[in-house]
Structure 1
Amino acid sequence: MRDGLTIGEFATLSHLSVRTLRRYHEAGLLEPATVDPFTNYRYYESDQIPTAQVIHRLRQLDMPLAEVKSILATDDPEKRAEFIAGHLRRLEAELDRTRAAVVSLRQLLRPAAAELEVELRSVPARSVAAINTPAVALEDALSWFDTAMNELDAAFPSTERTGAPGGLYANELFTEGVGAMTVFRPIRRPSRVGRIEILEMPAADLAVTVHAGPHDDIDVTYGRLGAWVVSHTLGIDGPVHETYLVGPRDAVDAERWRTEIGWPVFRVSPA
């Protein structure tokens, strides 16, 4: 008399294919309750069905086999939750990257984009309150930006601010994936607070355009501005300037966001 469920019966009940069950057995992820020593037939117990279903759900989320094995191996609910939460964060980040790529592709494939409006602007020297990092990875730039901007907002109330916040981004951040980054706020009386410094920003000549809407496709606007600079004037080395005329701190609706992009150019002669 056989003992337990055959692999075919277990596959039907767990909604995992026979091939998958064999692979999970070989990986030590879900071993049969018994294996007949003469026929090598695998037999499973009914109480293994919930485990099989958990594995199935985790694999649907593209969790690597090694991580699934770690989750099943621990009896600590907090550690299990930590493993799953970490994977979900990675999935969310991947989803954000996919969505941004889709938005950019739609913009790039649009047959007739509106003509880019560019202003050549001379920006005078000024003192601002700023936070700087000499090196940040591109994938960490957004979280670094949020933390730094929160510090600036906490240190200087709205009554002290004299303009929209901005950022300076070294070319290496985009070309190498790691580079210097600065966020700043124009302040009536800039002062040092914690890691906040007083930054003396030199005068600069910029080719300026405005990116409207979410930042998912801001790279398209960067590309169009760069092409304009190449064809109309002389671009120079230097950090790209961004000014957040309307941003996430000002409007929940991303369609209302307005980001000014300033590309450093050779000195513009006065009109």
Structure 2
Amino acid sequence: MYKIGQFSIITGLTVKALRHYHKESLLIPSKVENITGYRMYDKTQIIEARKIKILRDCGFSIKEIKDIFSHSDDLEDIPYYIEEKLASLVKQEMKIRNIKKSLLEETLEKRGVIMSEYQVYEKTAEEELVISTNYVGKYEDCGKYMGTLYKLAKQHSHKKPLNLYFDAEYKEDASIEVCVPVKKKIKVSGEVNLKTLKETKGLATIHIGPYDKVGDAYQAISDYANKLGIELDIPSRETYLKGPGMFFMGNPNKYRTELFIPIKE
């Protein structure tokens, strides 16, 4: 048996780290003295501790290491997990680089010009017959649901597709209803609804550009509403006037989206 200090030297893990791993139930001592509270480790735990050190040095979280250990306790498997982690880090690096590029390009003057280009107008959204499906999830997942609706609608699809957003804030798991307007009532089943969107009064504007910049349009409408003392409601509505096709994404800078937010009655 090894005291925690000895085990620390053998494994290269600090005493602080060993205490933390004990607390997280990642590396539990073989014995804890009742009176002194000293943690004791045995020889069989050395390999496990060294595996933990390797994975932590590679950037794995405690949660990820627990997941690995629940599936494999073989030292030979670690390189495969490291390869997966590396691929994930490369993807994350690209995401951070894109954010950095976006921030560098987005000067305060440019933002001011963009915001001034939004023309906010009052509008009455007409009654609309649609087929729709609701889901809770990521915003970018709506495309697959829209594709399913178009396959069902076939030649009966009418006008431009739209999404209804039922949250008054940004959420990782958003409550979304994907809608495809149809010319007439068609047969639906399962999670697909046939419904009529009621006539609604609200504020609208046109967003030109990629979907991840549509927050600018929300700001434009919010500023307009605040200035006039108008109270906005949910669900907000995004109608995709021009966007990606079924097979090609096209130029995101030329996407056209009408944002419509209802006025609270």
Normalising by structure 2, we get a TM-score of 0.61
- Contact 1:206/1:265, CA 8 A, preserved across alignment: yes
Deviation at 1:175, TM superposition (A): 4.8
Please show how residues 35-74 of structure 1 align to structure 2 within 5 Å.
51-52=51-52, 54-57=54-57, 60-64=59-63, 67-74=64-71
- Contact 2:201/2:263, CA 8 A, preserved across alignment: yes
**Unaligned ranges ≥5, structure 1:** 34-39
- Contact 1:7/1:43, CA 8 A, preserved across alignment: no
Deviation at 1:234, TM superposition (A): 3.6
**Percent identity of equivalent pairs:** 19
RMSD: 4.9
Match for residue 168 of structure 2 among 168, 171, 174:
174
Please state if 1:188 is matched with 2:183: yes
Q: 1:236 & 1:7 partners in 2: Cα distance? A: 60
- Contact 2:120/2:220, CA 8 A, preserved across alignment: no
Deviations 1:194-237 (A, max 9, x none): 23332222223332212233333423321221111232474454
Cα distance, 1:220–1:181 mapped onto 2, change above 3 Å: same
Deviations 1:224-255 (A, max 9, x none): 21111232474454421210123344625433
Deviations 1:166-214 (A, max 9, x none): 02223xx125968864221122334132233322222233322122333
Please show how residues 198-237 of structure 1 align to structure 2 within 5 Å.
198-232=194-228, 234-235=230-231, 237=233
**Unaligned ranges ≥5, structure 2:** 1-5, 31-38
Q: Which residue of 1 aligns with 2:3?
A: none
Deviation at 1:142, TM superposition (A): 2.6
Q: Which residue of 2 aligns with 1:122?
A: 124
Q: 1:201 & 1:41 partners in 2: Cα distance? A: 67
- Contact 2:233/2:264, CA 8 A, preserved across alignment: no
- Contact 1:235/1:265, CA 8 A, preserved across alignment: yes
Q: Which residue of 2 aligns with 1:36?
A: none
Cα distance, 1:101–1:203 mapped onto 2, change above 3 Å: farther
Cα distance, 1:63–1:41 mapped onto 2, change above 3 Å: closer
Normalising by structure 1, we get a TM-score of 0.60
Please show how residues 1-271 of structure 1 align to structure 2 within 5 Å.
8=9, 11=12, 20=17, 24=21, 29=26, 51-52=51-52, 54-57=54-57, 60-64=59-63, 67-75=64-72, 110-111=108-109, 113-114=112-113, 115=116, 116-131=118-133, 133=134, 140-142=137-139, 145-157=142-154, 159-170=155-166, 173-175=167-169, 181-194=176-189, 195-232=191-228, 234-235=230-231, 237-249=233-245, 251-265=249-263
